[in-house]
Amino acid sequence: MTKLHLHLLSDSTGETLEMIAKAALSQFEGVDVERHFWPMVRSHQHLDRIMSEITQFPGLVIFTLVNQEIRVSLEAACAEAKMATVSALDAVTTCLSRVLGQEQLHRPGRQHQMDDAYFRRVEAIQFTIAHDDGLLWEEWEESDIILAGVSRTSKTPTAIYLANRGFRCANIPIVPQSPPPPALFRLKRPMVVGLTTSPDRLVQVRRNRLLSLNQAPETDYVQKDMVEDEVRYARRMFADNNWPVIDVTRRSIEETAAAVINLHNERRIERTGPKPV
Dihedral of CA atoms 64, 65, 68, 72 in degrees, nearest 10, equals -70
Task: Confirm or deny that 82 is annotated as ligand binding.
Answer: no
- 156 labelled ligand-binding: yes
149 has binding-site annotation: yes
DSSP 8-state code for residue 9: E
d(CA 79, CA 142): 40
Asked if residue 78 lies in contact with residue 85, where contact means CB atoms within 8 angstroms, the answer is: yes
**Is 189 labelled a binding residue?**
no
User: What residue ranges in the chain does DSSP mark as E strands?
Assistant: 2-10, 31-38, 60-64, 84-87, 145-149, 169-173, 191-196, 245-247
DSSP bridge partners of 147: 171, 193
Residue 91 one-letter amino acid: A
> Contact at 8 Å (CB) between 25 and 54?
no
Identify whether the C-beta of residue 31 lies closer than 8 Å to the C-beta of residue 84: no
Does 155 appear as a known binding residue?
yes
Binding residues for ADP: 149-156
Binding residues: 149-156
